[in-house]
Amino acid sequence: FFPARWLPEAGGRGPAAVADSLEHYADGTLGAVGPFDAVACMNRVKRSARGARDARTRGRLRSQMRAFGDIVQAHMGDLPSKHVAIAANAVGGQPGWGPLVEAAMERSVAIREPREWTAQAVSMVVNALAKSPPRDGEALRGALSHLASVAARVPGGAAEWGPQPLSVLANGYARLGCRDEGVLEFVAEVAMSREGGYTAQSLGTLLNAYARLGAANGD
């Protein structure tokens, strides 16, 4: 997603180089950044922040995330599910980002057609909601119901649900304490239809999700 032309000098030189390269895009010196590029920047900032060890670089990256996040939030209604998912995951679980995650939830509900979703996007949105649960419980339940319906009908069906997105989906519903029977049945069916491919982590996540929801009934 990230426009490589924006980081010709960053290469593999780390978080500080990324912050240097994004500085004038974040502050608007080089002109307005569109929402699609802003999503890509959020994703890059998130990944770079993990390796930032000095306070100055971390602070710069936080400021840049805010600048790009504000752009994305203002244009959330124009984004497809893939970009909504990336943006929400870039800030899910971080303090001060509740409004953006709520906007992502509202946009997710507005994207009604399963053909506009992928397994990865559905699982990422649920994961973001689990990390930063919106305060409106009724709206959250409605969104989770919609996403549960979409999950079972994404193009490609069960074949699109690899171990990673499947385990993330199940864990997200478990963390939110939402026992959606449709999701549980879907996850079980897909998991049992796959032959291998599970890592110890993904398998453990699936089993833990079922245990937390009280669904380990021996079926």
Overall residue count recorded for the chain in this entry: 219
Q: Which DSSP category does 51 fall into?
A: T
Chain centroid to CA 11: 25
Torsion of CA 115, 106, 140, 176, to 10 degrees: 70
Query: Are residues 33 and 41 in contact, defined by beta-carbon separation less than 8 angstroms?
Result: yes
What is the residue type of 163? P
pLDDT digits (tens, 9 = 90+) for 146-187: 999 999 999 999 889 998 899 899 999 999 988 878 888 888
What per-residue confidence (pLDDT) applies to 156?
93
Q: How far apart are the first and last CA of the chain?
A: 41
Euclidean distance between CA atoms 217 and 219, whole angstroms: 6
- CA-CA distance, 196 to 94, in Å (whole number)? 34
Give dist(CA 62, CA 88) in Å, integer. 15
For 83-110, b/e burial (b = at least 16 CB within 10 A) is: bbbbbbbbbbebeebeebbbbbbbbbee
Which helix H or strand E contains 9, and what residues bound it?
none
Half-sphere exposure of 210 (CA within 13 A, CB side): 18
Residue 12 confidence (pLDDT): 58
pLDDT score for 154 = 95
- Side-chain-side CA neighbours of 78 within 13 Å: the count stands at 11
Q: Which residues of the chain have pLDDT under 70?
A: 1-13, 195-196, 213-219
Predicted confidence at residue 9, as pLDDT, reads 47
pLDDT at site 196: 64
Please, where are the H alpha helices in 75-215? 81-91, 98-110, 119-131, 137-151, 163-175, 181-193, 200-212
pLDDT of 217: 45
**What pLDDT, on the 0 to 100 scale, is given for residue 115?**
97
Predicted confidence at residue 43, as pLDDT, reads 93
Contact 15, 52 (CB under 8 A): yes
Instruction: List C-alpha distances in Å: 134 to 23, 65, 161, 165, 193.
Output: 31, 20, 26, 22, 34
Global pTM value: 0.88
Read off the tokens for 29.
């010196």
Instruction: State residue 195's pLDDT score.
Output: 66
